[in-house]
Structure formats: C-alpha cells, structure tokens
A and B are shown apart, each in its own frame.
Chain A
Amino acid sequence: MVSVEGGVLRPSDDVGIAGYGVYIPIYRIKALEIARVWGKFYDHLPVEEKAVAGPDEDAVTIAIEAARYAIRRAGIRPEEIEAVYVGTESKPYAVKPCSTIVAEALGATPNVLAADYEFACKAGTEAFQTSIGLVASNMVRYAMAIGVDTAQSRPADALEYTAAAGGGAFIFTRRNCETIAYIEGSYSFVTDTPDFWRRDGDMYPSHMGRFTGEPAYFRHTTMAAKGLMSELGLRPSDFSYAVFHQPNPKFPLKLAQYLGIPLDKVKPSIVCSSIGNTYSGSSMIGLASVLDIAKPGDRILLVSYGSGAGSDAFSFVVQDAIEEKRNRAPKVSSFIYRKKEIDYSLYAKFRRKIFM
C-alpha cells in the first residue's frame, strides 16, 4: 500500500520503472509560419516549432506507438501488463476509453485494468501515482501509465504557437535489478484555480492569459516541489536533473530559479522549443529525455503541472539497467530530428480546421 506521511506518497514496497517509450509525430510547423499567417510580430515567439499530428494520428495512435517502445525497453510480454492508464485531454471519443483501444492494440487484454485520466497537462503523472500504488500494494506486477495529447488551439490564439502533439509511456513494477529507476516518493499540490479550461462540446480551450503564470503554474509547481523535498529530506543540490512541465521554454527555467536549481540541471529535459507543448506528454517526454542520458545513481526531480490546477512531484533514482535498456528503442532525440516541415495550409488540413 502507499503510505501517506505529511502529504508525501511513499510506496511501502520499492517501485521502479521497467521501461519507457515516447512518440512524437513527424510533422512540424514553425512559429514563424503561424505568426506570418496572423500578421503578428516575429519577435519573442515562444518556441521555434511544434509537432503536429498527421491526418491519420490522434491521442490513441500516439499512445500505442509510445507504449510499444516502452514494452520493448521493459523486455516483457504485453499480456504481463495488468493495468493500462491513459492520461489525455485529447480523447478521440467523448465517451469510450482510449485505454481499451491501447490495451487491445498492445495485446494486454482482456485481464487488465484500463481507464482514462484527465487533469489537463498532468493526467499522465496522475496515472504514474495510480500505477505506483497498484504495484506497491502487490495488486499488479506491471502497470503502464501513458501521458499523451494532440493539443487543441483556436486559430490566431496565443496557444496556437505551442499546442503540440506527442506522448510518453512508462511501465512500473517492483524495484529489481532490471528496473531503470526507482521512486523515492511523490507529492501533490492541488487547488481549484481556473486558469485554463475547455467546455464540453467546445473545439478549443479558453485561458486566462497572464493569470496562467504566477497563481497557476508557478504556485502549484513550487509548492509540490518544495513539499516533496521537505518530506523526503532532500535539497535542490541532491538532484542531478530536474524535469518540469514545459508549456514554453521560459517557465521551467524560471521555476528552476525559484527553487534554486541550476539551469544546467533543467536544460537537458527541455524539448519544448523543438516540439512545442505536448500537454500530458510534456512531463513524460521531458523525463524520457533525461533517462536517455542519465547515469546510474543520478537523482531526478519530476514536477508536472495541470491546469485547473495541480502539480505532482516525484523523486526518482536511476539504476544500472538504464545503460543497456535505453538503447532498446529510439531516444527522444531521434524523434526530434525526424521531422517534416509543413506550412499553415497543410497544418489546417491535418488538424481538421478545414471543413469539407
């Protein structure tokens, strides 16, 4: 069972990551191209370019791609996975789980727990906590948590520059010599903060502009990170890397300054400039970027953020198995360099902004 001591979620039995995988669609649109279409100034664009789902992709297909790579790294049979959780705010169906399609496609059905999570951009780390709890309590041997999105953005809105597509999948099991990192604890900080939402039936979300910064992103991430460190007796200097939710490249760097974490411990996880904000996939791809380069013994701080609002913080310690397992599937950098640039016309067609 997961024990709660002063707000920290600490598994009573050691839990580790058996494997991880990411998937980022091949298409990119440059922020400059979006700015050109809407006649905006080219200075101070939040990212260089963002990943765009192709016309035959959605949150389910991206989740399956990432999950297959996670299974390859874990070196397990799909039918050994006893829980599949998909965190997303881009569900292709309003009612019908993504997780059943993913579990069936992987070959984990029918004896499997399957459900979808939604908490804006932190739905994936919610799935982490559930998976960790199920493994720690010996209810399942392997549990998969996926964070994925094909983020929506209203044409000409500020979000259009960053709202991107991508996802990551992580498989949890009891800590052993084959796990690549083990968890020390998790800490969540959640309030009712209306910084960003999408009403039922609406195509595009609404947001509160600058309000999304200090009272939303920075307050929740800071409190979660500080709460975790306080409860685990850790200091910023104990971490080799920090991975923060990255809605744009500036926020995670500013958060690092708030927390007193050197920027060079954060920069290896920042992929937002190249692929945009992948929402529920953001923390997952950031963590995978660090696992792609981390050494055994490195301690990693992970802090997600979901509008609405909340943050989940985690501390992981990297194990020896990372050295061999990371090479079993494509790394995040492979997906960043695999790209085809499209213009706004193709972007509008691919993202179903043109009605035929």
Chain B
Amino acid sequence: MATSAYWRTRFQRYRLIGNRCKECGKVFFPPRFVCPACGSVKLEEYKLPERGKLVEYTVVYTAPKGYEVMTPYVIGIVELEDGVRVLAQITDVDVEDVKEGMEVEASIRRLPEQLEGGMICYTYKFRPVIK
C-alpha cells in the first residue's frame, strides 16, 4: 500500500470513521464523496459503533503474500449496532470456534509488511468481545 493512500485513510482504519448523507441519511463506510442513493454531495463525518455481530464469514487457507503467517484466518461481515455492515478480518479466534452471531468488537491490528523497511500499516479488525 502506498504511504500516501494509507495516510489518507487512517481515520477510517483507526477509528471506523465513515460518513452520512445529510439529505437521505444513508451511511457509508468507507466514506464517499457523493451519495450514490440521492446524488447529494452534502455528507458529514459519522463514527461507526465498535460493537456488532458476525453475520457471515469465510476461512482463508490460501493467503496472499505476506498473510501466510496468519493462515487459516477468518474474513467476515460484521453488522454493527446501528445496522451498518463492515467487511473485516476476525482475529483472536480459531477457525473451529468462529460462529455466526458471535459478538465482536473493533480492534486495531497490524497488517503484514509489504516492503522490508517500509511503513507499518495498522487497520481495524474485529475480535470476540472481552467481558
């Protein structure tokens, strides 16, 4: 990932910051410049909730380069408390323990390094809620 692209997207990666259309109220994550529902360009920053439920998932056994250290790992769709759905890696869970409906919360984790000596990228993942 280009350093500049990572830097531009750091708020959504670190804090789940999306945006919401002021005209029709639709929420977008990642944020958009134009609302695809009503065409409005009036969008405001919107902080997504950090808790939700895993609604769908799949297990990755053959990973892209750099991700081999984590295989097998889980990618899933999380429905947050406000109904917004986010695609993310589910971490800290064994493949045999993951199940639909499990309560998860946002965490921040490190992505595999793509270049030796390059920038370290951090992004949101979800893990089971710690009680």
Among the listed A56, A105, A335, A356, which residue makes an inter-chain contact with B14, where contact means beta carbons less than 8 Å apart? A105
Q: For residue B105, which residue of chain A has the nearest CB?
A: A68
Q: Which residues of B contact A26 (CB under 8 A)?
A: 92
Does the CB pair A65–B131 fall under 8 Å?
A: no
B44 to chain A, nearest CB (A): 16
Q: Which of A55, A64, A92, A338 contacts B130 (CB 8 A)?
A: A338
Contact B108 A65 (CB under 8 A): yes
Q: Could you say which residues of chain A place their CB within 8 Å of the CB of B109?
A: 54, 56-57, 61
A105 with B15: CB separation less than 8 A: yes
Task: Indicate whether B85 reaches chain A with its CB closer than 8 angstroms.
Answer: no
In the complex, are the beta carbons of A334 and B130 less than 8 A apart? yes
Instruction: Tell me whether A350 is interfacial, beta carbon within 8 Å.
Output: yes
Interface centre among B68, B70, B110 (most CB of A within 10 A): B110
CB distance from A282 to the nearest CB of B (A): 20
Interface of B is mostly: mixed
Verify if A49 is at the interface (C-beta below 8 Å from B): no
Query: Which residues does chain A contribute within 8 Å of B92, judged by CB atoms?
Result: 26, 54, 340
Q: Which residues of B contact A334 (CB under 8 A)?
A: 130-131
A58 lies within 8 A of B110 (CB): yes
Complex contact A55–B70 (CB within 8 A):
yes
Known: A26-B92, A93-B120, A349-B69. A56 touches B130 (CB 8 A): no
**Interface flag for B91 (CB, 8 Å):** yes
Q: Is A107 located at the chain interface by the 8 A CB criterion?
A: yes
Binary CB contact string for chain A from 315 to 338 against chain B (1 if under 8 A, 0 otherwise): 000000000000000100011001
Whole-angstrom distance between the alpha carbons of A239 and B124 in the complex? 42
B residues less than 8 Å from A104 (CB atoms): 10, 14
| Whole-angstrom CA separation of A60 from B14 in the bound complex | 12
Is B59 close to A, CB under 8 A? Answer: no
State the CA gap A356–B91 with chains docked (Å).
22
CB-based contact A55/B69 at 8 Å: yes
Can you name the residue of chain B whose Cβ is closest to the Cβ of A27? B92
Q: Are A65 and B14 in contact (CB under 8 A)?
A: no
Indicate which residue in B91, B111, B130 contacts A335 across the interface (CB closer than 8 Å).
Answer: B130
Q: How far is the CB of B17 from chain A (nearest CB, A)?
A: 9
- Chain A: minimal CB distance from B5 (Å): 16
Question: Which residue of chain A has its CB nearest to the CB of B125?
Answer: A56
- Chain A residue with minimal CB distance to B120? A92
Listed by A's residue number, 17 A-B pairs whose Cβ atoms lie within 8 Å are A26-B92, A56-B111, A56-B125, A61-B107, A61-B108, A61-B109, A61-B122, A64-B108, A93-B120, A104-B10, A105-B108, A334-B131, A335-B130, A338-B130, A340-B92, A340-B94, A350-B69
Binding site for A on B (CB under 8 A): 10, 14-15, 68-70, 91-92, 94, 107-111, 120, 122, 125, 130-131
Q: Which 8 A-B pairs have CB atoms at the shortest separation, nearest pair first?
A: A56-B109, A105-B14, A55-B69, A330-B130, A26-B92, A56-B110, A64-B108, A55-B70
Q: What is A's interface to B at a CB cutoff of 8 Å?
A: 26, 54-58, 60-61, 64-65, 92-93, 101, 104-105, 107, 330, 334-335, 338, 340, 349-350, 356
